[in-house]
Amino acid sequence: MFNLAGKSILLTGGTGSFGTEFVKTILQDGKVEQIIVYSRDELKQFEMAERFQSSKLKFILGDIRDNERLKTACADVQVIIHAAAMKQIPASESNPIEAIKTNVLGAQNVVSAAIDNGVERVIALSTDKAANPANLYGATKLCSDKLMMAGNSLRESSSTKFSVVRYGNVLGSRGSVIPFFLHKAKEGVIPITDENMTRFWLTLQDGVQFVLSSLERMYGGEIFVPKIPSFKVVDVAEVVCPGIPIRIIGIRPGEKLHEVMITEDDSLNTFEFDQFYAIVAPGSTNVSHYKKSAKKVSQGFKFSSDNNTWWHTHDSFKKLLIAQGIIN
């Protein structure tokens, strides 16, 4: 793990599912000097403060759209974890300008604030939907990823490093399909968009640990993608709500049949490690590090939830859900 001893961390969107798990993990480690939770919901900040009651936690009300407020919040910060985003696909489709302001312009504000304050390292959370985007949310996150990568060449005299972490569905996060299935089970039928649909799955703690390990290994200019298991959505429903009938309703606008985390075009700049992949920005001066320590994937390689070599079984997925306290 990256040595956080004496460091001050700014966590944007820090009251969300990832942010809460991240704060819990870092406070348990106990080495960090301060965690600044930067978000715009004062109630969630109050609830988080009540939950953790730590002198190492500081809360700043602010929006990543507000460049000046963000720059002020980044003073004396060494690490930024950028988790704030407008994530709901339907809301993004019906409010496109708002999604662009938050996900694109907000990301640019993070880059500017980090460089202006001499922040050491920045990790931005991305999504599988940014690879070959099929909806506005994915398109804005792709733009955000590009801005983060470009930050490494914009820094001039600054030593700030920018990297991105991209992963799929998170068990236990807000908006997860599992609470939706449990709710629909009470109505007697579970709607499934397509019986062949697959998704990647990982836990919140897996996501936190992957961010921390990426923070340690980053040179700047990479998109880190974890190797995680796939599982059919219809199988998820069978595990979570056994015996409940399923109704196929068809894929919704902007939805993909399978998740893609590395595209064929990405393969030209992708390196494989035992537990993850690194997509290195084209032209990055750091590509030499990866040529020495990793295997370059073959041209045309694609990492998607349907061609994955690692799959959950009904039993392994059920055990994971029980361990996470999601089902009994």
Residue 30: per-residue pLDDT:
84
Asked if 270 and 302 count as a contact pair (C-beta separation under 8 A), the reply is: no
Annotated catalytic residue within 31, 56, 58, 129: 129
Residue 286: per-residue pLDDT:
84
What's at 216, amino acid-wise? E
Ramachandran class of 13: left when φ > 0, alpha when ψ lies in -120 to 50, beta otherwise: left
Rounded Cα distance between 142 and 127, Å, is 9
What's at 9, amino acid-wise? I
The answer to whether residue 246 scores a pLDDT higher than 70 is yes
Share of the chain above pLDDT 70, in %: 98
Rounded Cα distance between 147 and 133, Å, is 16
Which tokens in the block code for residue 287?
Answer: 């590509």
How far are the Cα atoms of 59, 74, 315 from residue 117, in angstroms, in the given order? 19, 6, 49
φ and ψ at residue 237, rounded to 5 degrees: -60, -40
pTM for the model stands at 0.95
Lowest mean pLDDT, pick from 141-145, 178-182, 297-301: 178-182
pLDDT tens digit string along 19-77?
999 999 999 988 999 999 999 999 999 999 999 999 999 999 999 999 999 999 999 99
| DSSP one-letter string for 45-96 | HHHHHHHH--TTEEEEE--TT-HHHHHHHTTT-SEEEE------HHHHHHSH
What's at 39, amino acid-wise? S
Helix or strand run (H / E) with residue 178: helix 177-186
Give the β-pairing of 222-226 and 276-280.
Answer: antiparallel
Residue 168: per-residue pLDDT:
84
227 — pLDDT class (breaks 50, 70, 90): very high
Please name which of 32, 26, 38 lies closest in space to residue 5, comparing C-alpha atoms.
Answer: 32
pLDDT tens digit string along 254-293?
889 999 999 999 999 999 999 999 999 988 888 888 989 9
Helix or strand run (H / E) with residue 246: strand 246-248
Rounded Cα distance between 235 and 219, Å, is 39
Rounded Cα distance between 215 and 213, Å, is 5
What's at 307, amino acid-wise? N
Classify residue 83 as exposed, middle or buried by CB count within 10 Å of its CB (0-12, 13-18, 19+): buried
Classify residue 310 as exposed, middle or buried by CB count within 10 Å of its CB (0-12, 13-18, 19+): exposed
Asked if 105 and 147 count as a contact pair (C-beta separation under 8 A), the reply is: no
Show the domains of the chain with their CATH numbers.
8-168+203-227+261-303 (3.40.50.720)
The answer to whether residue 155 scores a pLDDT higher than 70 is no
The answer to whether residue 2 scores a pLDDT higher than 90 is no
Please name which of 275, 283, 279 lies closest in space to residue 267, comparing C-alpha atoms.
Answer: 279
What's at 148, amino acid-wise? M
Establish whether 129 is a catalytic residue.
Answer: yes
Asked if 201 and 228 count as a contact pair (C-beta separation under 8 A), the reply is: yes
Residue 264: per-residue pLDDT:
96
Residue 316: per-residue pLDDT:
97
Q: Any idea how long the chain is?
A: 328
